[in-house]
Amino acid sequence: MADKAKVLKTVVAVASLGLVPAHHFLRDGKNPLTLEALRAAYPRLSAADAARYLRPLNQALREGALLTPRRAAAFLAQLGHESGELRYWEELASGADYENRKDLGNTQPGDGVRFKGRGPIQLTGRANYRAAGAALGLPLEEQPELVATVDVGFRVAVWFWNSRKLSALADLGTLEAFRTITLRINGGQNGAADREAKWATAKAVLGDGT
C-alpha cells in the first residue's frame, strides 16, 4: 500500500506542474522529448545536464524507434532507476563481484572490474560489451569506458533495449509487461518499486498512447 501511495503522490505532483502529455511528446519523429518532459521525468537531474543530454537522448530514441509515449515512458523509467536519473554513468561498486561470471562472458582476470556497469542502462559483462560494440561498430570491448560517454551510452542503452525485444512489451502498457521488462534488464525485480514509480511519472508526463 505504501508503494501505491508513493506512485499516486508522484503522479499528483507531476499533474500539479500543469504538464500536458500531448505537449511533451512530439510525434514529428525528430525530437520526441522536450526539455520540460525530461526534467519532469527526472526531477533530480540538473537543468544543465538535462539540456546536455536531450539531443543525444532524442537521437537514440529515433535510432531505436522508441517513438511512442508507451515505449519512451518505459525506457525512461528503467534508465532512471539504473542510472539514478542519469546522474551515475558508471557503477559505484568496483565490479569485483562480477569476476569469473561466465554468464556475463567474464572469463579473463580483471574482467569484473573492466566490464562493470556503465552508461544509463548499466551495461555489464564482457559479452555484452562485445555484442554492443559489434552491433554499433564501436570498439567497446577494447575501450569499455566509451559506454560511460553520453552519445555512446544512450546508443548502447537503446541497443540493449531492442536486443531484448523490450518495445513489444512496452507496447502492451501493462504492469505485468513492465515487470517482464525489469526482469530482462535486471535479471530479477531489484528496485521494482522505484522503477514502477518512475514509470508512473513518465506516463503522467508523456501520456500512455501507443
Residues 6+ apart with CB under 8 A from 59: 151, 154
- What long-range pairs does 29-32 form, CB within 8 A, spacing at least 24? 29/62, 29/67, 30/58, 30/62, 31/58, 32/58, 32/61, 32/62, 32/66, 32/67, 32/72
Average pLDDT over residues 182-197: 97
Spell out the domain ranges in the chain: 2-89+161-206, 96-146
Which pLDDT score is estimated for 4? 46
Which pLDDT score is estimated for 28? 54
Average pLDDT over residues 148-171: 98
Q: How confident is the model at residue 107 (pLDDT cuts 50, 70, 90)?
A: very high
CA distance 4 to 96: 36
Average pLDDT over residues 144-171: 98
The CATH class given to the 96-146 domain equals alpha beta
Residues 6+ apart with CB under 8 A from 167: 64, 65, 66, 71, 161
Check if 82 is active-site.
Answer: yes
Which pLDDT score is estimated for 32? 86
C-alpha cell at 198: 518512475
Catalytic residue among 82, 85, 141, 196: 82
Tens digit of each residue's pLDDT (9 = 90 or more) over 5-64: 554 444 444 443 333 344 455 555 567 899 999 999 999 999 999 999 999 999 999 999
Which pLDDT score is estimated for 163? 98
Query: Is the distance from CB of 206 to CB of 69 less than 8 angstroms?
Result: yes
Provide, rounded to the nearest whole percent, the portion of the chain with pLDDT above 70. 85
Which pLDDT score is estimated for 54? 97
Q: Identify the CA nearest to 180 among candidates 78, 59, 32.
A: 78
CA distance 206 to 72: 8
